[in-house]
Amino acid sequence: MGQIHLDLANYHEMERFTKVDAEGYDQEAALYHLRHAADCGHLEAIITMGRIALQLSHDILPDITMEDNLANIDMGLDFMNLAAMAGDRGAMILLAKAYDTGEQLGTRLRSWPKAINWYTLAVSMESGDEEGNYDGTMDDPTYQLLARQAEMYRHGEYELDADTAKAAELYTEAADAAMAAMKGRLANKFYCLAEELNDLIDL
């Protein structure tokens, strides 16, 4: 059923249901079917609804926008939460960054523990191909996500307690991931940060 509603949304965009003398397609009807596709659990529709509500670029019905207000931001994050729970890495990272920075959170509160949770889940997703190779040019590479978590644990804020040992561990993991992605200079930076923190622990 979700796929049927998504197809109907696309047919509206292609003006299959538009009268010859009409200007443009029925955007309200297209959005109606996209919303129902999302409500039926269609992942692509869920992500698209989330991106539309959050005023982000989207491939399906790209010319449709929503008002930038707290209600729509909350709705967009609800859809992204569904997408993240369904295993979409991009949605996980979007939520992580929102809770990390406090931006585009709607009525939600900034929370580093929640950010850590989503970053961790995103890192756990396959970031390499079947041969274990890594793409250093991919959006939000694993080493960046690990390094950001390390920084958060290093300072501790927004309900997250500082943990020097955990920060050192994450910097080491970030360094290993950067090395695998052929980012030697960045890997050395992370190794140095890990060593500095380990020295603090030994004091």
Instruction: Report whether 171 contacts 193 (CB < 8 A).
Output: yes
pTM of the model: 0.88
Q: Which residues pair with 134 in a beta bridge?
A: 128
pLDDT (tens, 9 = 90+) of the chain, 203 residues, equals 889 989 888 887 777 776 666 677 778 888 999 999 999 999 999 999 999 999 999 999 999 999 999 999 999 999 999 999 999 999 999 999 999 999 999 999 999 999 999 999 999 985 444 434 444 446 799 999 999 999 999 999 999 999 999 999 999 999 999 999 999 999 999 999 999 999 888 76
- The Cα 141–Cα 146 span in angstroms is 9
Given CA atoms 187, 191, 196, 200 in this order, what sign does their dihedral have?
positive
DSSP state at residue 134:
B
Question: What angle do the packed helices 142-155 and 184-202 form, to 10 degrees?
Answer: 30
DSSP state at residue 125:
S
Burial class for 185, CB neighbours closer than 10 Å (0-12, 13-18, 19+): exposed
Sequence length of the chain is 203
Tokens of 140: 């939000």
**Where do we find the tokens 């644990």?**
153
